[in-house]
Structure 1
Amino acid sequence: MTSATQSYLFNTGRGFESQNYLGCHVETDGQVSFRVWAPHAQAVGVVGTFNDWQAAPLSPVGATGIWQGLFSQVKLGDLYKFEITSATGEKQLKIDPFAQQFERKPGDAAIVVAPIAEQWHDSLWLARRKKSNPANRPINIYEVHLGSWRRHDNGDYYTYAELAEELIPYAHQMGYSHLELMPVMEHLLDASWGYQQMGYFAPTSRFGTRDEFLSFVDQCHQANLGVIVDWVPGHFIRNYDALYQYDGTPTYEYADPNQADNRRWGAWNFDLGKTQVQSFLISSALYWLNTCHLDGLRVDAVSNMLYLDYDEGREGQVNQYGDNRNLAGIAFLQELNTEIFKRHPDVLMIAEESSAFPQVTGRVDQGGLGFNYKWNMGWMHDTLDFFEMDPLYRHDHFNLLTFAFVYMFDEQFILPFSHDEVVHGKKSLMHKMPGDRYNQFANLRTMMAYMAAFPGKQLNFMGAEWGQFLEWRDWDQLEWVDLKDPLNRQMQHYTAALNQVYHANRPLWELDHESTGIVYSNTDDAASSTMGFIRQAKRKYSFVIAAFNFVPVERRQYRIGVPYPGEYELLLNTEAKAFGGTWTQLETTFTAVNRPYKGQPASFEATLPAMGALLIRPVKVKGESKK
């Protein structure tokens, strides 16, 4: 593709592989090219270790706003930046927006790297991914912050190679289907957790090189682990030597300071209506999916892109129709998802969207945003509010659980217990639970079973799998010392067992987004604070009964309605001794008889454990009973 064509596509918002043209590239003859978009600059030069940081001038490419130069003295590993001279004559050093590797913080110079030569070994994984529909597959995600999952005794980060050695087998053994990495795109401020990004094409150098990151992804796939990464197309790092006023004028951000300034997060908002910004961001998304073989992106802060007045300080902003929708942001998200699914219909595009904006996972040609998943923030908040409550009062607030049944199929949902819920004084999941230490674990086991049985895919943040007591701290590793405690070890064992049950039973995931995937057998018994429902698979006789007791009072002779008489077996009892409960002998088999109950033609009795849950499936049923 010619330089003129590349420039045209980038400027018209259709340059979706712009990183192959802009930025720094080692050419076939060994020379190194530099290209950068700075449309209002008076002059542009490149500075680096190869020229003692004295600017070597670049030339404008016609009237495209792009500047370029070709140099023979540049070597692999050299550091560089662009020197931008604004229209008023001010000079400032700026990062390369398209750099694929940066020096380690606190520096922010880009590094000259060779073209990617990764020898991938994940063809089997990618082939299976193409043949499967994620909606009909088990998805339980382990959300990880790489900088604090584990650290060395001296506080140093684990490298991508060390994480591959330890994190991958751990997640696999625990039964997770995917890792979701909090942003690995290059960023400077640790406290931002990666959500104030600088390098939209560069894995962070904290843990190693670009190629070492690619090897990490490859090894995940070889271990049958998908990789999702958080990505932030709404706003970018505040630093003046990054994207802000790149050529001395608003370049990537809005021209209106009120729209550009994101006070909520201390960042700058991208001008999503600008065609060059669209090329930049969609190229970034496709780079991670194409070049880095990621299985999906979780798009952060979608609400900030949907509403003109979402951020404090932007009140009163309206569009030409008189409402607060950000029409440019909506159009950008629709274009983003259209282009991604055109190339990768099998990936996950997940919206972290906290409002009730309609059709987030709806089809673009029907007015939707085009994501295939949305975090169910309402379910998450209501469920945590319910479980944090003293069990004595739960019967008066049962609507916190039942309200989600009203809208559970409005979108394709992921149920998230994410990092945001275990930080800034919110306490860890285990610490949120009421009662003494034993009852805290009993509540946590029950809540995890409730998530596994509820329609929707699922996500848990690291540390929750064993019930870490301290809330998450991004500057230190998880409290692995907890696992010396028997209750924490048993909780970890429970999580692995629950994940195994989840994966092995199609009713728990095959019809997650269809109303036929659930039968409401006993969801209105607030007085006893118990609940039961049936999860159904495509096959008629393939289903799982889920029964929950949300108070610490054992329910003996608890009757459970089922579709057919016959023999049933226990899949999981959250109060089993091996999980940290009190049951040393489990009821493992149940016989359903032709006794109608709660709208079902047959039923059986079971002992429902105090503050516990049962998952049960049919073994041999006698065919459909007549009411």
Structure 2
Amino acid sequence: MPSSLTPPPVQASFGDTDVYLFREGTHAQLYRRLGAQLSPGGEGASFGVWAPNATEVAVIGDWNHWSDLADPMRARADGSGIWQAHCPSARHGQAYKYRIRTRNGDVLEKADPFAFLAEEPPATASRIWTLEYDWQDAHWMGTRGAANALDAPMSTYEVHAGSWRRKDGQFMNYRELAHALADYVAGLGFTHVELMPVTEHPFYGSWGYQTTGYFAPTARYGTPQDFMYFVDHLHQRGIGVLLDWVPSHFPTDAHGLAHFDGTQLYEHADPRQGFHPEWNSAIFNYGRHEVRSFLISSALFWLDHYHLDGLRVDAVASMLYLDYARKHGEWIPNVHGGRENLEAIDFLQELNRACYRDHPDTFTVAEESTAWPKVSRPIEMGGLGFGLKWNMGWMHDTLAYMREETVHRRWHHDRITFSMVYAFHENFVLPLSHDEVVYGKGSLINKMPGDSWQQFANLRLMLAYMWAHPGKKLLFMGGEFAQRREWTHEGELEWWMTDQPEHRGMQLLVGELNKQLRGEAALHQLDFDEAGFEWVDANDRDNSVLAFLRKSRDGQAVLVVCNLTPVPRQNHCLGVPLSGTWREILNSDAKPFGGSGWGNLGEVRTAPLAANGHRHALYLTLPPLSTLYLKRDADV
């Protein structure tokens, strides 16, 4: 890169206000100012990149034969570190990078941090692209506030785009995936789809959690317009779309953000704060205002331009704790001597403030694995400001309990009831996610004890219990039909299993659970309010039976009864608040689901007997390894 070449002047698209907001850490639309911006008419493009410690920067690409002589960039005189250039010969779709000379004389070739599209991996250049698209989801966008509200029914199907289903052994593109996935998800009654990260990532095996393109959907499955079509189509089918988003760390690939201008620009310079020992990746410097502007702009970009309904923020715990995955002496305390990352806390609060300010009909979800308080509480109350938080404690305790042989469950009864002690401390999502079916953990069905019949019965029981428990629901793909094989990102799900009666029965059960969740206000309306839940019997450890009521605002109630052993129980007495006929609206042991067919012949009448603190009682038949939902028939 010749140092004597003088860059031509460029039209200022990054003005004084942009500089102020950028330096303040509150610029929420950097993608409109930096990166590659095509000129009107598509002839030529303006480029902007942040590289404050570079001595020279040039745009190299297809139009100038990748020569740094043709399009050198000019550094702004205001000390912002922004370099700019206008390239008259650049055209839509062409590949490019920034060639950067560092202070020590090294030459780096970097992808554009603000690119809207990258070359398909393993290629690493950025592409000049636009975001024009004719959206057809106006009805969804105008009404989605109700679908995304805390009192709405919400069951989310978590998907890895590359391994859900394939076509002739190859990846489906976004458009193909849109139709196949929408048909499937709508058929089962899920309300939302959550995509594991589709932000561009060089290593497919990272599942998207090692992101290099914070403004680019991965080119593995198509263009930005193809991904817009995906979201648009699901919205037209009444399905919300959530995106996994990863502001916690980034990979150190040579073309990416790491050492971007020869210095630790996006990451902390001190490895005790800037290097993640567990994931061998770099950690963002949340105390640097320009980095905060970059990340907040990325978050809002997906809501602004892709109509996404929410962001699930990955690995929040790793951001909150300075000693996360570190031994004594490997971390730096904060100014108060504590382990809390004060800069990350401020960033997360600003992130949530910006998301709810600009898109109040969307929501954010924290994957936070500790007992950090008030994750999903308003910032004004000292919270982090997320809308929802994954309930990792519920997940761990429930799976640990369900792994126990049924004869031993009486000794572990507290594990299945403990979640109700803290169920209303946060706005919880109950996740059975991809993390629970990889790396030797086995599939959901293979976690269950007993012979094959008991395994299926246990899983049906657990899913029905989960759908009745306070909190929103999330299930990873394959769990809905009890895939036997542990999930792998290579290949597709074992769809052939759905032709087998027991697997098809599991699929039918999940569809019925979603139907009940949507149809019964008692099962969703007060998920985050203690008034929506009441124990009927939490202490029957000898029989391993649980019974509780879910309630709606208008007093409707659903009685939920779990028999956690393979022993059928007849004439099991439970108190209920109202007399009359209680209909069996769901029985996980029903024959269409693969069960044995035990039950209550559809309904049961109360007896005038006080039990469990109520004036009326039901004498129920509890099928083996089952969950029952019963609702009082208001017409009787």
- TM-score, normalising length from structure 1? 0.97
Number of residue pairs matched by the alignment = 619
Q: In the alignment, which residue of structure 2 is the partner of 1:9? A: 21
Aligned partners of 1:2 and 1:362: how far apart in 2?
Answer: 36
TM superposition shift of 1:134: 1.5
3-state SS of the aligned residue for 2:153?
Answer: coil
3-state SS of the aligned residue for 1:527?
Answer: coil
Aligned partners of 1:584 and 1:594: how far apart in 2?
Answer: 25
TM superposition shift of 1:234: 1.1
Greater mean alpha carbon deviation, residues 64-73 or residues 124-133? 124-133
Instruction: Render the CA deviation track for 1:365-399: whole Å, top value 9, x for unaligned.
Output: 11100001000000000000000110010000011
Tell whether 2:602 aligns with 1:588: yes
Tell whether 2:333 aligns with 1:318: yes
TM superposition shift of 1:4: 2.5
Q: In the alignment, which residue of structure 1 is the partner of 2:381? A: 366
Q: In the alignment, which residue of structure 2 is the partner of 1:50? A: 63
TM superposition shift of 1:11: 2.1
What one-letter code is carried by the residue in structure 2 that aligns with 1:164?
Answer: A
The match for 2:590 among 576, 598, 621 is 576
What one-letter code is carried by the residue in structure 2 that aligns with 1:5?
Answer: T
Greater mean alpha carbon deviation, residues 97-106 or residues 589-598? 589-598
Aligned partners of 1:549 and 1:2: how far apart in 2?
Answer: 64
Q: In the alignment, which residue of structure 1 is the partner of 2:166? A: 151
The match for 1:35 among 48, 73, 93 is 48
Instruction: Render the CA deviation track for 1:109-138: whole Å, top value 9, x for unaligned.
Output: 011113x22111111111112356621100
The match for 1:491 among 484, 498, 506 is 506
Instruction: Render the CA deviation track for 1:472-497: whole Å, top value 9, x for unaligned.
Output: 00111001111221111111111111
Does structure 2 retain, via aligned residues, the 8 Å contact 1:304–1:310?
A: yes
TM superposition shift of 1:312: 2.7
Tell whether 2:183 aligns with 1:169: yes
Q: In the alignment, which residue of structure 1 is the partner of 2:264? A: 250
The match for 1:106 among 116, 122, 126 is 122
Tell whether 2:516 aligns with 1:504: no
What one-letter code is carried by the residue in structure 2 that aligns with 1:557?
Answer: N
Aligned partners of 2:122 and 2:66: how far apart in 1?
Answer: 18
Q: Structure 2 matches for 1:141-220, cutoff 5 A? A: 141-153=156-168, 155-220=169-234
Does structure 2 retain, via aligned residues, the 8 Å contact 1:98–1:200?
A: yes
Does structure 1 retain, via aligned residues, the 8 Å contact 2:599–2:623?
A: no
- Indicate the RMSD between aligned Cα atoms, in angstroms: 1.3
Tell whether 2:572 aligns with 1:558: yes
Q: In the alignment, which residue of structure 1 is the partner of 2:495? A: 480
3-state SS of the aligned residue for 1:149?
Answer: coil
Q: In the alignment, which residue of structure 1 is the partner of 2:8? A: none
List gaps (5 residues or longer) in structure 2.
Answer: 1-12
Aligned partners of 2:122 and 2:489: how far apart in 1?
Answer: 17
Q: In the alignment, which residue of structure 2 is the partner of 1:545? A: 559
Aligned partners of 2:58 and 2:222: how far apart in 1?
Answer: 29
Instruction: Render the CA deviation track for 1:192-237: whole Å, top value 9, x for unaligned.
Output: 1100000000000011111100011000100000000100001111
TM superposition shift of 1:416: 0.2
Does structure 2 retain, via aligned residues, the 8 Å contact 1:566–1:621?
A: no
Aligned partners of 1:476 and 1:447: how far apart in 2?
Answer: 28
Tell whether 2:89 aligns with 1:73: yes
Q: In the alignment, which residue of structure 1 is the partner of 2:390? A: 375
List gaps (5 residues or longer) in structure 1.
Answer: 623-627
What one-letter code is carried by the residue in structure 2 that aligns with 1:4?
Answer: D
Greater mean alpha carbon deviation, residues 22-31 or residues 552-561? 22-31
TM superposition shift of 1:2: 5.7
Over the matched positions of the two proteins, sequence identity in percent amounts to 42
TM superposition shift of 1:584: 7.0
Aligned partners of 1:401 and 1:317: how far apart in 2?
Answer: 38
Aligned partners of 1:527 and 1:294: how far apart in 2?
Answer: 48
Q: In the alignment, which residue of structure 1 is the partner of 2:5? A: none
Does structure 1 retain, via aligned residues, the 8 Å contact 2:148–2:363?
A: no
Does structure 1 retain, via aligned residues, the 8 Å contact 2:163–2:491?
A: yes
TM superposition shift of 1:293: 0.3
3-state SS of the aligned residue for 2:118?
Answer: coil
Does structure 1 retain, via aligned residues, the 8 Å contact 2:22–2:289?
A: yes
3-state SS of the aligned residue for 1:568?
Answer: strand
Q: In the alignment, which residue of structure 1 is the partner of 2:101? A: 85
Tell whether 2:257 aligns with 1:234: no
3-state SS of the aligned residue for 2:373?
Answer: coil
Aligned partners of 1:361 and 1:305: how far apart in 2?
Answer: 16
Structure 1 residues 558, 584: CA separation in 2 closer, same or farther (over 3 Å shift)? Answer: closer
Structure 1 residues 131, 501: CA separation in 2 closer, same or farther (over 3 Å shift)? Answer: closer
3-state SS of the aligned residue for 1:547?
Answer: strand
3-state SS of the aligned residue for 1:238?
Answer: coil
Q: In the alignment, which residue of structure 2 is the partner of 1:449? A: 464
What one-letter code is carried by the residue in structure 2 that aligns with 1:436?
Answer: D
3-state SS of the aligned residue for 1:524?
Answer: strand
TM superposition shift of 1:191: 1.2
TM superposition shift of 1:61: 1.1
Aligned partners of 1:394 and 1:563: how far apart in 2?
Answer: 29
The match for 1:118 among 116, 133, 139 is 133
What one-letter code is carried by the residue in structure 1 that aligns with 2:53?
Answer: H
Does structure 1 retain, via aligned residues, the 8 Å contact 2:430–2:474?
A: yes
- TM-score, normalising length from structure 2? 0.96
User: Where in structure 1 do 4 or more consecutive aligned residues deviate above 3 Å?
Assistant: 313-316
Instruction: Render the CA deviation track for 1:302-353: whole Å, top value 9, x for unaligned.
Output: 0111011103357442111111000000000001001111111221200000
3-state SS of the aligned residue for 1:397?
Answer: helix
Greater mean alpha carbon deviation, residues 380-389 or residues 314-323? 314-323
